[in-house]
Amino acid sequence: MVIKAVKGVKDILPGDTAKWRMLEKKARSVFRRFGYREIVLPIFEKSEVFIKGVGETTDIVQKEMYTFADQGNESLTLRPEGTASCVRAYIEHSMYHPQGAVTPLFYFGPMFRRERPQKGRFRQFFQIGAELFGIGEPTADAEVIHLLTLLLKEAGIKEQKLFINSLGCGDCRPEFKKGLVEYLSGKKESLCDNCKERYKANPLRVIDCKSESCAKVIADAPTIDKYWCGDCRTHFTSVRENLKTLGLEFELNLKMVRGLDYYNRTVFEVIGENLGAQNSIAGGGRYDSLVKDSGGPSVPAIGFAIGVERLISSIGDSLKGEDESPDVYIVHQGKDALAQAFKIAGGLRELGIKTACLYKQTSIKKQIANAGKSGAGVCVILGENEISRNIATVKDLSTGEQEECPLSKINDAVKALRIKRWSGKG
């Protein structure tokens, strides 16, 4: 029996990894422009981090977490998202010092959710996340959204649609929830079984519910904008003005609540033009009470996460990885030549030159053909004729020009050719 990977979990193979690294590189470049610094978070945490942080009534906590007791009988969970971990680390390392500090962080890495397997969804999936702690101003909301949309644009998303909403605050959201529960009570029989149970405890989940019957009920439900308090209204107006200042187009979606409990005020989602409405590439929002609720000081925060698999599948082949081809390809014929090739390859690699060589006795013709296909700029030929004269033929594969050179001078010859070739390319 061949053992296969776990269902919903996939390998990222060479070829694709080059694209992934390129995406990371582009993301880093954008983060740097906005002053964000990288944090590397553990892949597992104590389960409370997520139960408290993500919210007990969320689908993630109720159905999707990989939770296990370790040998010391401690309940641990593979992280289903990054924000709760990031908040835990932010508090643990007192990153709120000195008082009033603004702390912009970003991270890359795998997240784990036991979702029903379906196309484009994985149980181990990757996110690029950002969190900005210490600033509650509406300019911060607009800046974070700008960062996200710029990152997606530079990654190769040509058309993106930005949706925004405000979920209100601790003062006005309870009123909205109350109004919503009242409305839903009257339509209880039309709700799905799941929502029949949860609509009182968390009516916002009904808005997110994917069942058709609930969607119908929600279509005429009261919307949050009627309930925004004065401060929330002013904040959101300012966010929209700031987005306009930056030339960012957006659409208001009053039905967008996001599936997590910790969001307040501004929430946002980006959908790629060629992905369905269900397939947002990225989303996030403000979470001004999560730090305090997690045992830290009262520090406002806002963040987002990008789904890397969806991003990569929607930009397709337009994302070119870095060139993985060798600089030099060494071909050889005969036992002595193979020994020489081995030695030369080692020396060139020490000099920082990407060198390919197949340590097998195969036809030199075939090896030369492979050298041509490899993308290498230089081919070092060690045929029987060359070896008997203690020389090598060094060939510039882009021009076809070649020259003979003593074996002792091979490094210099390769370097010279490589420099000539590269400067020729500009």
Specify the residue for token string 């020389």: 391
DSSP-H helix ranges across 11-137: 16-33, 47-54, 59, 83-92
Stretch of 45-53, 95-103, 161-169, 284-292 lying at the interface with Zn ion (CB under 5 A): 161-169
Q: Does the protein bind Zn ion through residue 195 (CB under 5 A)?
A: yes
Neighbours of 109 (CB within 10 A): 16
Q: Does the protein bind Zn ion through residue 169 (CB under 5 A)?
A: yes
Give burial (CB, 10 Å; 0-12/13-18/19+) of 28. middle
Q: Which long-range contacts (CB under 8 A, 24 or more apart) does 10-16 make?
A: 10/122, 10/124, 15/321, 16/312
Instruction: Give the helix/strand (H/E) hosting 255.
Output: none
Closer CB to Zn ion, 142 or 209, in the complex: 209
CA–CA distance, 89 with 86 (Å, rounded to integer): 5
Closer CB to Zn ion, 67 or 213, in the complex: 213
Q: Does the protein bind Zn ion through residue 60 (CB under 5 A)?
A: no
User: Among residues 84, 144, 162, 232, which is the contact residue for Zn ion, using CB under 5 A?
Assistant: 232
Number of residues that bind Zn ion (CB under 5 A): 11
Stretch of 6-14, 41-49, 180-188, 202-210 lying at the interface with Zn ion (CB under 5 A): 202-210
Structure tokens at 175: 């009123």
Closer CB to Zn ion, 214 or 270, in the complex: 214
Q: Does the protein bind Zn ion through residue 215 (CB under 5 A)?
A: no
Provide φ and ψ at 250, rounded to 5°.
-150, 165
User: Among residues 62, 124, 211, 398, which is the contact residue for Zn ion, using CB under 5 A?
Assistant: 211
Closer CB to Zn ion, 82 or 168, in the complex: 168
CA–CA distance, 285 with 292 (Å, rounded to integer): 17
Closer CB to Zn ion, 182 or 350, in the complex: 182
Q: Tell the smallest beta-carbon distance from residue 172 to Zn ion (Å).
A: 3
Closer CB to Zn ion, 210 or 425, in the complex: 210
- Length of the chain in residues, anyone? 426
Instruction: Give the helix/strand (H/E) hosting 94.
Output: none
Closer CB to Zn ion, 162 or 232, in the complex: 232
Of all residues in the chain, what percent are helix, strand and coil, respectively (each to 5)?
A: 40, 20, 35
Write out the binding residues for Zn ion, residues 115-144 only, by CB under 5 A: none
Q: Tell the smallest beta-carbon distance from residue 240 to Zn ion (Å).
A: 16
Q: Does the protein bind Zn ion through residue 238 (CB under 5 A)?
A: no
Contact status, residue 270 vs residue 158, Cβ threshold 8 Å = no
| Three-class DSSP category at 197 | helix
Stretch of 172-180, 243-251, 277-285, 290-298 lying at the interface with Zn ion (CB under 5 A): 172-180
User: Among residues 51, 105, 209, 341, which is the contact residue for Zn ion, using CB under 5 A?
Assistant: 209
Q: Does the protein bind Zn ion through residue 214 (CB under 5 A)?
A: yes
Closer CB to Zn ion, 124 or 211, in the complex: 211
Provide φ and ψ at 23, rounded to 5°.
-60, -45
Q: Does the protein bind Zn ion through residue 172 (CB under 5 A)?
A: yes
Which parts of this chain interact with Zn ion (CB under 5 A)?
168-169, 171-172, 192, 195, 209, 211, 214, 229, 232
